Amino acid sequence: MKRDLKSQTSSQQILSGRTLSMSMSIFYFTISIIINSAGNVLTLVTSAKIHPSYLGSAYWTAAEANLSVAFGWNLFWTFLILGIVITILNAILVGHWNWHRALGNLVFMVPFSALIQFFENFFIGKYPIYSGLPAANTPVMIGFWICFIFKFW
């Protein structure tokens, strides 16, 4: 009985084109947003601590970080507002408004923007449990990167 139910469920997933369950899709979506936002902020924060900045950042992330400085906003509002503006511009370019696409973008933008702000505050040391990343030219960071690059640890 259990085997029949399992094979029926998997055949329904194949017929619908989905190979992952919705709970696993949400799980992977959540993990990907966390990793993506942490990586984006890590490139922003480390490039701000290295002069001249050799690391750089992704184009959109760097542009939004520069907009946040220019307008005096924090990264949450900059990422969220620019994401909404880009959603509207995409609808204009496509020629019609798609509520499913707009809500999907919003479902991504709100937690992504919040995590961007959280990780920025964490990496620059605004929380009392962590004082932020040290300067890149300190012996600790030089040793860390040598170990990380050559995998001595």
Q: Is the pTM of this model over 0.85?
A: no
SS3 string of the chain?
CHHHHHHHHHHHHHHHCCCCCHHHHHHHHHHHHHHHHHHHHHHHHHHHHCCCCCCCCCHHHHHHHHHHHHHCCCHHHHHHHHHHHHHHHHHHHHCCCCHHHHHHHHHHHHHHHHHHHHHHHHHHCCCCCCCCCCCCCCHHHHHHHHHHHHCCC
Question: Mind listing the pLDDT tens digit for each residue in 14-23?
Answer: 556 778 888 9
Question: Mind listing the pLDDT tens digit for each residue in 56-109?
Answer: 567 788 888 888 889 999 999 999 999 999 999 999 999 999 999 999 999 999
